[in-house]
Amino acid sequence: MSTILARLRHRRANPAADDAGAALPALTSSSKSSSHDSGGAATAPRTRVGAWLDRPMTSFHLIIAVTALLLTMGLTMVLSASGVYSYDMDGSPWAVFGKQVLWTSIGLLAFYIAMRTPVALMRRFAFSSFAFTIVLLVLVLIPGIGKEANGSRGWFVIAGFSMQPSELAKIAMAVWGAHLLAARRMEQASLKEMLVPLVPAAVIALALVVAQPDLGQTVSMGVILLGLLWYAGLPLRVFLTSLGAVVVSGAILSVSVGYRSARVQAWLNPGADAQGMGYQSRQARFALANGGVFGDGLGQGTAKWNYLPNAHNDFIFAIVGEELGFIGAAGLLCLFGLFAYTGMRIARRSADPFLRLLTATATLWVLSQVFINVGYVVGLLPVTGLQLPLISAGGTSTATTLLMIGIMANAARHEPQAVAALRAGRDDRVNRLLRLPLPAPYVPTRAEAVRDRLKTRSKRTPTVDTKAKPARSRSGKRPVRSATPPVGYGAGQRNQGRRARTLEGQRHG
């Protein structure tokens, strides 16, 4: 009712503007989202949580807070789970933890740089970055350059520090794929132009990772490709075909090598080789069972005393369940659930199609690794060797994950409401503390602007049934058509179109 009264007062005060077709200033998105069923009146959010979620910088604050909590918990659990292993291998209980802190520092630096990187610069170097990672994947396969560990030649070792190029390839493929699909989508490209060259290039990267061989990274890259195709809105048959190809390829790879086949058999029949290939999975479930509801206490677990291999790395979730119990494990999963909500919130609120596609794909990638890691720890999936993001000890994985989350935080700062608030001078403590530059508003391409105008015009134009015959009068003659144009095509409509084109950049951010 208040909106109707305001509109009537506006018409009474400005009759000329009403005749010219001028519209009232639109309500802000915050007032629209907080309006309730009581007559459509715009009221304040009912709860404090609703008011906080309605703020323009909430997505940015959420992604920062969730990342900080996951990093803190990850470093704590790596320190607790790696002490015995570090002492056996290096004579110091701090060796693995020290490397993890160093790689986390590198990842935080990459996180900060990603937040400051302009979106246009990110897109400009997308293909060159992907091509560089392809070169690294080729070099790591050369004996003497790449190092082999755990049956896979997939690491560069420099000054005692190992780096896995497949982790960089995943990020490069996600960024380049999002850039390519967003650009082709705006150009109304055909299906073939949407799939080429993305799918052939992704197949090359997947083949190089398979040649290492590394099944876990292959599955992760396949998930990124499927996420790009799904969120780009390609036809369902294309997505189902790609999904079927990835599933069949994964099934073939899982039984093509002896140790992979043994892992699958141990998963299908855990008791067949309890002291051999099924030992690790069996010990992980024992650790989870020992933890109970509240756990044995931080640092008090026994599985890390050489009972559970790779307790600080692939199976760190078992240590979380043993020392923090069901409460701690469920809390960790809730943090990842909050991360999923934040990532999809950023993707939904982004005006830039590139950032929308990239953020949704990155969220799916991180969650898929969480699902696979937790799945094989609890015995629902065969062991693949994928690490738990930001929790497991793994330098390259932690650094690249932080780099990807930094891009997501950059996307959160480019939400239209966040851009408007920051450029209007509204103070944000986190933004000021990090000394981040002002985000640039999203400027739609010419094709996108024309399509939006046509869509808006089609919604405002009343549909006229041209096939219907006009009614006859009592005299039997057809009525004479009026020479005046229909309502809505006068000067007021033209002026409204000019204002819409002027404010189009503001509407998108």
Mean pLDDT of 53-62: 92
Give the count of alpha carbons within 13 A of 244, CB side only.
6
The whole-angstrom separation of Cα 171 and Cα 406 is 12
For residue 384, give its domain range. Answer: 58-118+215-434
Order of all β-strands in the sheet with 147-149: 147-149, 152-158, 161-163
Domain contains 425: yes
How many domains are contained in the chain? 1
Domain contains 200: no
Please give the residue that has the higher pLDDT: either 386 or 487.
386
Percent helix, strand and coil across the chain, each to the nearest 5: 65, 5, 30
Percent of the chain with pLDDT over 70: 76
Domain contains 112: yes
The whole-angstrom separation of Cα 296 and Cα 298 is 7
pLDDT value at position 451? 65
Domain contains 24: no
Domain contains 373: yes
Is the pLDDT confidence value at 474 over 50? no
Domain contains 199: no
Q: Counting beta carbons within 10 angstroms of the beta carbon of residue 35, is it exposed (0 to 12), middle (13 to 18) or buried (19 or more)?
A: middle
pLDDT digits (tens, 9 = 90+) for 338-354: 999 999 999 999 999 99
Q: What angle do CA 315, 404, 313 make, to 5 degrees?
A: 15
Please give the residue that has the higher pLDDT: either 348 or 40.
348
pLDDT digits (tens, 9 = 90+) for 443-466: 876 666 666 677 677 666 655 554
DSSP 143: B
pLDDT digits (tens, 9 = 90+) for 291-326: 999 999 998 999 999 889 889 999 999 999 999 999
Domain contains 315: yes
As a whole number, the mean pLDDT across the chain is 80
pLDDT digits (tens, 9 = 90+) for 375-401: 999 988 888 878 999 999 988 899 999
Look up the pTM and report it.
0.79
Q: How confident is the model at residue 196 (pLDDT cuts 50, 70, 90)?
A: confident
pLDDT value at position 31? 40
Domain contains 39: no
